[in-house]
Amino acid sequence: MTYIRNSLFTINHSLFTILLLFACHSSLVTASEPPVRYEASHESMGTIFTVAVYGRDRAFLAEVVEQVFDEVDRLDAQMSNYKPESELSTINREASSHPVIVEPGLFHLLEICVQRSQQTDGAFDITVGPLMKAWGFFRGRGRLPTSAEIDEVLKRVGYRHLKLDADRRTIRFDESGVDIDLGGIAKGYAVDRAVDILRSNGITSALVSSGTSSIYALGSPPGAQGWKITLRDPYDEHKPADVIHLQNYSLSTSGNYERFFEIDGKSYCHIMNPHTGWPVPGVLSAAVLAATGTDTDGRSAGCFVMGVDGTRKYLAAQPNLAVIFYLPNEKPGEYKRVLLRSDSHTIPADSIVEIDK
């Protein structure tokens, strides 16, 4: 494949490094009307959201990107379990005592989460909040709980504790102490909302990144076939593992190097197995490619928990997904790469998904 290489923009996080090629190729645009690139970043949801967008009017682009960040902040205020006044915190406080009416958008997301949990047999589960607290990943630096603690916490973990009533648009918990944590999917959902705003304003070329979680590639940069995304080496953030060209497609990655702590030389990552109550061993990272951020975010953590064999079975029933695993090799500092695709896998006609090793 031949791609036009332009100027370099790098978002370098512990999860993945995104290399974006921005400047216009002189033979593809007229001197009188060169496209304008506008780029801005904004802190929200505990990460840095970045939008890079092309258009004709810089002031207009800046205004639209500000709308995007306003929406991300609104979702953060609604879905954060770190903010006592958020709707999610209200649910966590009250749903064990009575049904709580939920805003339509959030209720729809909760329905998606429960469906995702059913499909993965609980590998993806938004009720891991008590586990995150027990292991010190909620406002903490990490701690090793006792087996007795884990056994007690597991009584409050499991998506089956969530009782959704679609007719009344309510949620209740059948066990006290249940705690929803949307950290595994909220950023992908926010990326999709951002793309909706961009599209509704007529923007056709942009890349939206939610820090170390999810990205969406809208259209392509001028003169390029897709946005160039570089997935990092799981052992070295400065080295590439895979190069992917995306257009009108999403990517999410979960890695054991994003949040972790070490005790007595052993590392414990933040990705919990809801069945065992322990951090998942034996996987370095998992990247999922699909049509939207809501499709990919959450699934990356679910696939991380299921591992290669479980994910292969999962993909037999779930269409249009691709998953890249990076696994430890026998030699320290080296990894194995496994690429899986759904048994039924079709890329939309207006999308580009090209993986270059």
Domain ranges within the chain, ordered by starting residue: 87-173
Q: What is the pLDDT of residue 4?
A: 30
For residue 350, the tally of other CB atoms under 10 A from its CB is 9
Q: What is the pLDDT of residue 157?
A: 97
Average pLDDT in the 311-339 region?
Answer: 96
Q: How confident is the model at residue 80 (pLDDT cuts 50, 70, 90)?
A: very high
Q: What is the pLDDT of residue 57?
A: 96
139: alpha, beta or left? (left if phi > 0; alpha if psi -120 to 50): left
Average pLDDT in the 146-152 region?
Answer: 96
Q: What is the pLDDT of residues 227-255, one digit of tens each?
A: 999 999 999 999 999 999 999 999 999 99
Q: How confident is the model at residue 265 (pLDDT cuts 50, 70, 90)?
A: confident
Task: Calculate what percentage of the chain has a pLDDT beyond 90.
Answer: 83
Angle (CA) 265-266-269 rounded to 5° is: 135
* Sequence-distant (≥ 6) Cβ neighbours of residue 314 within 8 angstroms: 119, 120, 302, 303, 306
Q: What is the pLDDT of residue 258?
A: 87
- Separation between Cα atoms, residue 116 and residue 303, nearest integer Å: 11
Angle (CA) 68-72-78 rounded to 5° is: 145
244: alpha, beta or left? (left if phi > 0; alpha if psi -120 to 50): beta
Q: What is the pLDDT of residue 82?
A: 93
Q: How confident is the model at residue 141 (pLDDT cuts 50, 70, 90)?
A: confident
> Which of residues 31 and 225 earns the better pLDDT score?
225
For residues 39 and 26, is the Cβ–Cβ distance under 8 A? no
144: alpha, beta or left? (left if phi > 0; alpha if psi -120 to 50): beta
Angle (CA) 304-82-275 rounded to 5° is: 30
Average pLDDT, the chain: 90
Under DSSP, the state recorded for 25 is P
pLDDT surpasses 60 at 104: yes
Q: Which one, of 119, 116, 117, 87, lies nearest residue 104 by Cα?
A: 87
Q: Which one, of 65, 11, 12, lies nearest residue 38 by Cα?
A: 65
Phi first, then psi: what are they for 237, rounded to 5°? Answer: -65, -15
Q: How confident is the model at residue 357 (pLDDT cuts 50, 70, 90)?
A: low
CATH superfamily, with its number, for domain 87-173: ApbE-like superfamily (1.10.3980.10)
Torsion angle of alpha carbons 166, 170, 174, 177, nearest 10°?
A: 140
Q: What is the pLDDT of residue 213?
A: 83
Residue type, 53: V
Average pLDDT in the 41-66 region?
Answer: 97
Residues paired with residue 225 on neighbouring β-strands, in sequence order: none
- Separation between Cα atoms, residue 342 and residue 47, nearest integer Å: 30
Q: Which one, of 54, 16, 61, lies nearest residue 35 by Cα?
A: 54
Q: What is the pLDDT of residues 5-28, one digit of tens each?
A: 233 333 344 434 444 443 334 334
Average pLDDT in the 154-172 region?
Answer: 98
Q: What is the pLDDT of residue 76?
A: 98
pTM: 0.88
pLDDT surpasses 90 at 188: yes
